[in-house]
Chains A and B, each alone.
Chain A
Amino acid sequence: MEKGEALEHFIKNYVKTESSVKMQKLKVYSENNKDILIDDFVESFRRICVKIKDMQDKGEKGEIGYITYSLLRTNIMEGKLVYLIEAFNRIWFFDRIECQEEYDVRWAYQFLDEFEAELIEKSKPYLNKIGMPDIERVKLKEIALYNNVVIELAKEAILNASEIKEFSDILKEDVIEIRIGEYKGPSEVIYRKESNAISGAKL
C-alpha cells in the first residue's frame, strides 16, 4: 500500500465513522450538562463585563461596540482549550486597547483530543505510512465541527448572559453586537442591540 492509498483507506474506514461517533458523544454530553454549560458561559461573559467596567471606570476603555468569542486554532493545537474573549469599540479590531478574557471550551474539545489519541493508536497498523502531520491535518479539519457545537451552546446561553447586571452596567455604543466564530474571520452575531435613540431616528 502506498502512502496516498494508506491515508485514503484510513480516512474512509476509520476517521469518518469515528468522527461521527465522537460528535454524537459530544452532543449527548452537551444535552445532559446543558445547565452547567450555560452557567459556565454566563460566567465567562460576566468576567469580560467586569473587566470592561473596571477599565471604563479607570478611563482606559471607551464605549463598547463589539464583544467577540474567538476560536484560535493555534490554541487548540497547543492543547490550550479556550476561546479568546475580546471587547472593542465601534471600530472593532482596529481598537488597539486590549481587553481580553478566556472562555474554557474543554467540555467540547476534550472529545477532539480523545479522537486524536485514538487516531494515533489506529494509525499504527499502517506502519509509518500515516504520520503525525497527517493526523494533525485531520484534527484541524475536525475543529470546524466542534466550533459549531460551541456556537450552538453560545446562542442559547447568550439569552441568559445578556440579562446579567454586569452587562447592563457597561457603557455601550449605539449598536452593540456579541459575536462568536473565527478569529478575525467569519463569525456569527448571537446578540445585537441598538439603543432607542438610534432606532427612533430610523423610524
Chain B
Amino acid sequence: MDFYVISQDVRVFDSVEPIKVHQAFDMETIRRGRFQELDDWPVQLYIKEKETNSYVDFIEKPIPLISDKLKQVFEMYEKDIFYKPVMLADVKKMKQNLYWLCIPKDIEALSCQSEFKMDGSLKKLVISEKKVNFRKIFRITGIIEYIVILNQDVAESILRRDFYGITLKKIDKE
C-alpha cells in the first residue's frame, strides 16, 4: 500500500487566499500545531481581492483548509477527524464558500529513517507502514508541520472525482 501527502497545487496562480486570519485564529496555535485548543464554532474569513479566484479544494496557507466537497470524501474513509467550519467571504461579489479546518488524528508512524533539519523541521519524511494500522487519513506525531497523509484508497478516490488544485505526492515508507 502506498501513501501520499496532500498539498495545495502551487501551479494554480489564482488560488483563493484567506486574509486577516489572525483576527479569527490564534496564529501561534496554528503554527505550533496545537490544534487540540480549537473549538468547532464556525468562523468567517475574508479573501484577498483579485481579478480571479480559483476555489481550490485544498488551501495550505495561512491556515490549512479543505473544501466541503473534499470533506465529504474524507468522511467516507475516516471517522477520526476534527473539523471546524470556516466561511470564506468575498465581500465584493457577496459570495460565501464553505471550507473546513481539518485536523486528522496524529499517529506514531514516523520511521527512524526520517531526517530533520537543525531547527526541527522536516527534511525527509519516511513512515512506518506497520504502524499505520488501517488508518486512511492521518497526521504524524512528532512533526511540527501540518502534514496530512492519505492511503492509496483515498488518493484514488480523490483523483476520480474531479478536484482542482490538489497535489498528491507519494511518500517513502519502510
9 more contacts with CB within 8 A, not counting A3-B14, A74-B156, A143-B160, are A74-B155, A131-B13, A133-B11, A137-B162, A140-B160, A183-B152, A183-B156, A185-B157, A185-B160
When chains A and B are docked, how far (Å) is the Cα of A132 from the Cα of B12? 8
| B165 pairs with A133, CB closer than 8 A | yes
Judge if B52 is at the interface, Cβ distance under 8 Å: yes
- B81 on the interface (CB 8 Å rule)? no
Q: For the complex, what is the distance from the CA of A2 to the CA of B157, rounded to whole Å? A: 31
Least CB separation from A93: chain B residue: B153
Q: 1/0 per residue A65-102: CB within 8 Å of B?
A: 00000001110011000000000000000000000000
Chain B nearest CB from A80 CB (Å) reads: 11
Q: Is A184 part of the binding interface, using a Cβ–Cβ cutoff of 8 Å?
A: yes
B165, A182: Cβ atoms closer than 8 Å? no
Q: Which residues of B (1-60) have their CB < 8 Å from a CB of A?
A: 2, 4, 9, 11-14, 52, 54
Check A133–B156 contact: CB distance below 8 A.
no
A residues bordering B, Cβ < 8 Å? Answer: 2-4, 72-74, 77-78, 128, 131-133, 137, 140-141, 143, 182-185
B105 within 8 A of partner (CB): no
Nearest Cβ on chain A to B72's Cβ, whole angstroms: 16
Min Cβ gap A181→B in Å is 11
Compute how far the CA of A143 lies from the CA of B155 in the bound complex, rounded to whole angstroms.
Answer: 15
Chain A CB within 10 Å, residue with most, of B153, B159, B168: B159
Question: Complex: how many Å from CA A71 to CA B162?
Answer: 16
Query: Taking CB as reference atom, which chain B residue is nearest A4?
Result: B52
Bound form: Cα–Cα A69–B3 in Å: 20
From 127 to 174 in chain B, residues with beta carbon under 8 angstroms from any chain A beta carbon are 152-153, 155-157, 159-160, 162, 164-165, 168, 170
Judging by beta carbons under 8 Å apart, are A182 and B160 in contact? yes
Q: Which chain B residues lie closer than 8 Å to A2 at the CB level?
A: 52
Report yes or no: A133 in contact with B9, Cβ–Cβ below 8 A: yes
**8 closest A-B pairs (Cβ-Cβ)?**
A73-B159, A183-B156, A133-B12, A3-B52, A133-B9, A133-B11, A184-B153, A132-B11
- The CA-CA distance from A73 to B153 in the complex, in Å, is 11
26 contacting pairs across A/B (C-beta < 8 A): A2-B52, A3-B14, A3-B54, A4-B52, A72-B152, A72-B156, A73-B156, A74-B2, A74-B155, A74-B156, A74-B168, A77-B159, A78-B170, A131-B11, A131-B12, A131-B13, A133-B165, A137-B162, A137-B164, A140-B160, A182-B156, A182-B160, A183-B153, A184-B156, A185-B156, A185-B160
- For B164, what are the chain A residues with a Cβ–Cβ distance below 8 Å? 133, 137
Q: List, in ascending order, chain A residues with CB within 8 A of B54's CB.
A: 3
Q: How far is the CA of A3 from the CA of B170 in the complex (A)?
A: 30
Once bound together, how far apart are the Cα atoms of A166 and B165, in whole Å? 46
Q: How far is the CA of A141 from the CA of B160 in the complex (A)?
A: 8
Instruction: Evaluate contact between B160 and A74: CB separation under 8 angstroms.
Output: no
Q: Which of chain B's residues have a CB closer than 8 A to the CB of A185?
A: 156-157, 160
Given A131-B11, A131-B12, A184-B153, CB of A73 within 8 Å of CB of B52: no
CA distance A77 to B9 in the complex (A): 15
Measured in the bound complex, the distance between the Cα atoms of B161 and A143 in whole Å is: 12
Q: Give the chain B neighbours of A182 by CB distance below 8 A.
A: 156, 160
